């Protein structure tokens, strides 16, 4: 059975040409970038070349790019690092949204236990943050706003420029978790005017375990790891050079062909959305219809359990998810779906299908062929659905 992978929001496979660029840094260029001998200097050149490449694509300066182990670490460093710096100035209030990734939400919850206060701004039924509520939440103690660029579950893109404008007018730092957005849409840190931005390589065909935190020049953060002088002394530890080279290569690959890939993914995404809504009754699209990530499809299917749907799809050779991979072990409904106003019973039946540049139209057609039959089978096992059909008659 040829498997169909539609869980690219969770992670992507490493592109062959990216792996090809990484291999020499596993097997040939083995020096430590901190060493002064020729092997170390060769490794250092590769490290700084990657830093410059990432900076150029994001519109940043090389010294504003810090390499990390991924999106969760970057989010933690940005929020905690800024929080403890601003606390020294008497500012202990943070603003975020109700639909952030748990790397942000759990960090904010931890900071609340350390004496900070956090405002969780609501979103509308499409998942767009309430800008009026955001601005009204700012007070004299506010030091940081952290709002994601695009939601990892429902794909809604946030008004980052407007949030940045509000933050600047009130002299508040602004961090955005752009883990899902980078590689899927144009991003320029100067155009967006963000102070900090997080990204992770494995979301755009790069390797796992490596990411970036962009920190605008002049923004002060507490050090993340003490020890050596790596990452300008702020994050000690020998750099993951193969991973960093792979991150830079994958980022360049994504943005060299962005327009072409985005147009193709949108066409497949919309075919998938329309096909599901037209062929399966009692379904609804979650998130914004147009202002969403090009590869994201998130639907709620009533009168079934999402877990049962995922298992049946897996048996049919289709990999999908119900939301964030970081909470896949939880039986609770998605906090994102609850935040956009869905009742528990509908939120439990969510399905997320996320595409990549490798997804084919034939794979979309196969999903549209298989999915209605699976939903039918599961609903026929549901006494509630039987009652709904009787009432409809």
Return the active site residues.
326
DSSP string, 190-226: HHHT-SEEEEEGGGTT--SS-EEEEE-TT-----SB-
The answer to whether residues 347 and 357 touch, using CB atoms and an 8 Å cutoff, is no
Residue 224: phi and psi, rounded to 5, are -90, -50
The answer to whether residues 104 and 96 touch, using CB atoms and an 8 Å cutoff, is yes
The 10 Å Cβ neighbour count of residue 28 is: 8
Residue for token digits 């519109």?
59
Residue 204, burial from CB neighbour count under 10 angstroms (0-12, 13-18, 19+)? buried
Strand residues in 21-92 grouped as ranges (E): 65-68
Listed residue (133, 129, 192) closest to 164, CA to CA: 192
């Amino acid at each position: 059975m040829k498997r169909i992978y539609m869980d690219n929001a969770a992670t992507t496979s490493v592109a062959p040409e990216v792996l090809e660029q990484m291999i020499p840094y596993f097997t040939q260029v083995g020096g430590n970038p901190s060493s002064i001998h020729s092997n170390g200097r060769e490794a250092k050149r590769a490290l700084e070349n990657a830093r410059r490449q990432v900076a150029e694509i994001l519109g940043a300066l090389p010294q504003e790019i810090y390499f990390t182990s991924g999106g969760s670490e970057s989010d933690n460093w940005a929020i905690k690092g800024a929080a403890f710096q601003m606390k020294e100035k008497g500012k202990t209030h943070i603003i975020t949204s109700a639909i952030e990734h748990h790397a942000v939400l759990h960090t904010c919850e931890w900071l609340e236990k350390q004496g900070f206060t956090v405002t969780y701004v609501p979103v509308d039924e499409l998942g767009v943050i309430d800008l009026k509520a955001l601005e009204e939440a700012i007070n004299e103690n506010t030091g940081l706003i952290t709002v994601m660029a695009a939601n990892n579950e429902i794909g809604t893109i946030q008004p980052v420029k407007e949030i940045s404008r509000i933050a600047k007018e009130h002299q508040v730092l602004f961090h955005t978790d752009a883990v899902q957005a980078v590689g899927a849409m144009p991003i320029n840190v100067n155009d967006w005017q963000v102070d900090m931005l997080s990204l992770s390589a494995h979301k755009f065909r790069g390797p796992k375990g490596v990411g970036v935190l962009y920190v605008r020049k002049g923004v002060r953060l507490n050090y993340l790891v003490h020890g050596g002088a790596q990452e300008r002394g702020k994050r000690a530890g020998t750099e993951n050079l193969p991973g960093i080279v792979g991150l830079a290569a994958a980022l360049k690959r994504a943005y060299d062909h962005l327009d072409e890939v985005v147009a193709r993914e949108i066409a497949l995404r919309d075919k998938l959305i329309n096909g599901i809504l037209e062929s399966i009754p009692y379904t609804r699209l979650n998130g914004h219809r147009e202002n969403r990530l090009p590869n994201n499809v998130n639907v709620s299917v009533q009168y079934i359990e999402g877990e049962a749907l995922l298992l049946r799809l897996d048996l049919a050779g289709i990999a999908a998810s119900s939301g964030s991979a970081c909470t896949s072990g939880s039986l609770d409904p998605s906090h994102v779906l609850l935040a956009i106003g869905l009742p528990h019973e509908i939120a439990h039946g969510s399905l997320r299908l996320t595409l990549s540049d490798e997804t084919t139209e034939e794979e979309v057609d196969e999903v549209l062929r298989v999915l209605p039959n699976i939903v039918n089978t599961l609903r026929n096992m549901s006494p509630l659905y039987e009652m709904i059909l009787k009432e409809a008659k």
